[in-house]
Amino acid sequence: MDRTIEITVNDRMQQGYRYHLSEPVGTNFAPGFMPYHTPKEMLAMGVFEGKYLNDCTEEFPIDWFATAKISDRPDPDLNYFGVKSRQPLSVWRQKGWIYGPDPRGWFQWYCRYYLGRRLPEIDSVQIGRWRAFARHAGQVRANCYAGDILCRPRQRQALLQWAYDPLI
């Protein structure tokens, strides 16, 4: 499919970055990549202490922000599980967690992928990271009673921030 939609990014972390949308929104994901939540759902539930994408309202659909829990300062109370859940960007860079043209990391990549951007080399790396994160769901299942959503709240918050079902 040849789409002519081009997105130009001008926020605090990127100026003049352009990308094209080649797939319809929220469809045609790579085989085996099945996120449980959409970016809009994640923002509304409370991720990254509200301090993520709060300066990106021009890049992403405005309805993603209608019920988003965002803030100018990190606030753990905004997270779904009310726990601290983020590390400074300097740590992400130091650990090599930033790939390609997405300086905010995996969630920014997922938002752009969800919109329809495809960058095969970057996509395969990020989808691989997403698959590897599934081990946390296994740890929650192995260590918590079914229905006890208060068990391992930090790990559950992390699952949500990777578009997994944190209420497993």
Torsion of the alpha carbons at 21, 26, 32 and 34, rounded to the nearest 10: 140
In a domain, 14, yes or no: no
What is the Cα–Cα distance from 46 to 121, expressed in whole angstroms? 30
Tokens representing 8?
Answer: 């130009």
Is the separation of the CB atoms in 78 and 45 below 8 Å?
A: no
Token pair 């994640």: residue:
42
Is the separation of the CB atoms in 98 and 43 below 8 Å?
A: no
Task: Tell which residue, 20, 24, 22, 79, has the closest CA to residue 48.
Answer: 79
- Residue 96, amino acid: G
pLDDT for residue 114 is more than 60: yes
In a domain, 119, yes or no: yes
Task: Tell which residue, 109, 111, 133, has the closest CA to residue 120.
Answer: 109
In this predicted model, what pLDDT tens digit does every residue of 10-49 receive, in sequence order? 999 999 999 999 999 999 999 999 999 999 999 999 999 9
Q: Which domain holds residue 48?
A: 25-161
What is the Cα–Cα distance from 141 to 101, expressed in whole angstroms? 35
Tell me which of 75-79, 147-151, 159-163 is least confident. Answer: 147-151
In a domain, 46, yes or no: yes
Tokens representing 146?
Answer: 């079914």
In this predicted model, what pLDDT tens digit does every residue of 82-109 receive, in sequence order? 999 888 888 988 998 898 999 999 999 9
In a domain, 167, yes or no: no
Specify the number of domains making up the chain.
1
In a domain, 147, yes or no: yes
In a domain, 138, yes or no: yes
